[in-house]
């Protein structure tokens, strides 16, 4: 079955760019009716959707983060990536990658998820 695994630096300095990669195994990132997504969760808090990428090349971002976020895909490596610029301590969180499945009836849900990776923004 499809599995996702996040990777990237666990510590980022304020004002710098956070960069994470999600490696997809057990299936091709280019096939199927899927959106590849990033979600984050500050410690002890709820879930915040960051954005998603579709095989057509279209992207959708959370308006609250849109000016700082870029999601891109490397089909040759079966990976997708997140870049979040100008980070502050408020961006400290566990970052998850997830597949957003889409049914024929237009229903969507996140499954599977990566295990998550903690990114701390601190000098």
Residue ranges binding another protein (CB under 8 A):
46-49, 52, 60-64, 96, 98, 103, 105-111, 113-116
Shortest distance, CB of residue 108 to another protein, whole angstroms? 4
Q: With respect to another protein, which residue has the nearer C-beta, 10 or 46?
A: 46
Cβ nearer to another protein, comparing 47 with 89 = 47
Task: Report in angstroms how near the CB of residue 121 gets to another protein at its nearest.
Answer: 21
Taking residue 17's Cβ as centre, other Cβ atoms within 10 Å add up to 13
Distances (CA, A) of 74 to 21, 65, 78, 105: 10, 22, 6, 29
CB of 69 to another protein, least distance (A): 11
Task: Transcribe 84-119 into DSSP letters.
Answer: E-S--GGG-EEEEEEEEEE-TTS-EEEEEE---EEE
Give whichever of 31 and 106 is closer to another protein, judged by the CB atom: 106
Q: Minimum CB separation from another protein for residue 76, in Å?
A: 26
What is residue 68's three-state secondary structure? helix
Q: In this complex, which beta carbon is closest to another protein, that of residue 73 or of residue 98?
A: 98
In whole angstroms, what is the distance from residue 31 CA to residue 16 CA? 33
């Amino acid at each position: 079955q499809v599995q996702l695994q996040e990777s990237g630096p666990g510590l980022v300095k304020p004002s710098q760019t956070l960069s994470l990669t999600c490696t997809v195994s057990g299936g091709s990132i280019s096939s199927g009716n899927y959106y590849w997504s990033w979600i984050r969760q500050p410690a002890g808090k709820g879930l915040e959707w960051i954005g998603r990428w579709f095989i057509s090349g279209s992207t959708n971002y959370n308006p609250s983060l849109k000016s700082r976020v870029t999601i891109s895909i490397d089909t040759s490596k079966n990976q997708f990536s997140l870049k979040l610029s100008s980070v502050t301590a408020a961006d400290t969180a566990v970052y998850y990658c997830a597949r957003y499945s889409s049914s024929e009836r237009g229903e969507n849900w996140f499954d599977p998820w990566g295990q998550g990776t903690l990114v701390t923004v601190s000098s």
